[in-house]
Amino acid sequence: MSTIETVSPRGRRLAVVTAITGTVFIAAGAFWLSFTALADLARRSGIDGGQAWAWPLIVDGIIVVATVAVVALANQSRPTWYPWTLLAAGAVVSVTANAIHAIIAADTDVPAVLAASVAAIPPLVLLSITHLTVILTRPTTARAANAIEDASVEAATSSRPVVVPEVEPAQAVELPVVSVSERRVEAAQLREVEGWSNKQIARHLGVHPSTVGRWFTPAISGTKEETS
């Protein structure tokens, strides 16, 4: 048994809480450094001092919102190109603007490359730490799906209701006996007749997308052998 598997749920939650607390503080510091630099650049560019605070809030706010959207849509069938585009655009604008401000505001004896490199770190850290924070705060849906999948397979070979293993401390859920072969037949019909993707079929049948992929793999390999 690996070290990760032997960690108790309480210890895992404590580690996650500690990590989230650290990432929040780091994200706040990175956001503040980037915010002050972009606000000063906005004032230098002619925006009124009472309104200059809104510009960095818009630029860095796009990074935060787009990162949350990308992670939220990661396991869904919805397209994610738009939030990825917003995330990339926000990161490029923030890093470029911070670098320009550093070059303008730096002392003459400091190389421009060094000033720009130092100023580019806060927005990059904000991007990465926001992504990490969102991942840490997400529920363990993948582990829950795998546990339900394993319970369903075991139910197919047993005449008794199967109790799903606990992913987090919670009440056990009993699943009825479900035939894997029936699910495979339904999955094949949905794919061939309806033209559904593996993710759509997995959501409909309540299994993991990788399980649906394994169902179709033998059929594909067998077709190749017949045609060779």
| Span 141-227 CATH architecture | Orthogonal Bundle (1.10)
The domain spans of the chain are 3-137, 141-227
pTM above 0.85, yes or no: no
Burial zone of 43 (CB within 10 Å; 0-12 exposed, 13-18 middle, 19+ buried) = middle
Q: Taking phi first (over 0 means left), then psi (-120 to 50 degrees means alpha), and beta for anything else, what does residue 206 get?
A: left
Segment 81-120, tens digit of pLDDT:
888 888 889 889 999 999 999 988 887 778 888 888 898 8
Average pLDDT over residues 207-223: 68
| Per-residue pLDDT band at 43 (split at 50, 70, 90) | very high
Asked if 214 contacts 187 with a C-beta cutoff of 8 angstroms, the reply is no
Predicted pLDDT of residue 83: 83
Structure tokens at 176: 């009825």
**What per-residue confidence (pLDDT) applies to 110?**
82
Q: What is the pLDDT of residues 50-62, one digit of tens each?
A: 889 999 899 888 8
Q: Which of 25-29, 60-64, 75-79 has the lowest mean pLDDT?
A: 75-79
Cβ-count burial 157-182 (b if 16+ within 10 Å, e if not): eeeeebebeebeeeeeeeeeebebee
| Residues 6 or more apart in contact with residue 117 via CB below 8 angstroms | 99
Nearest-CA neighbor of 186 among 177, 173, 196? Answer: 196
Residue 191 banded pLDDT, cuts 50, 70, 90: confident
pLDDT grade for 159, boundaries at 50, 70 and 90 = very low
Q: What is the pLDDT of residue 78?
A: 67
| Residue 96 CB burial class (10 angstroms; 0-12, 13-18, ≥19) | middle
Q: Do 191 and 175 meet the contact criterion of CB atoms below 8 Å apart?
A: no
Provide the mean pLDDT of the chain: 74
Angle between helices 180-192 and 141-156 (to 10 degrees): 120
> Beta partners for 163?
174
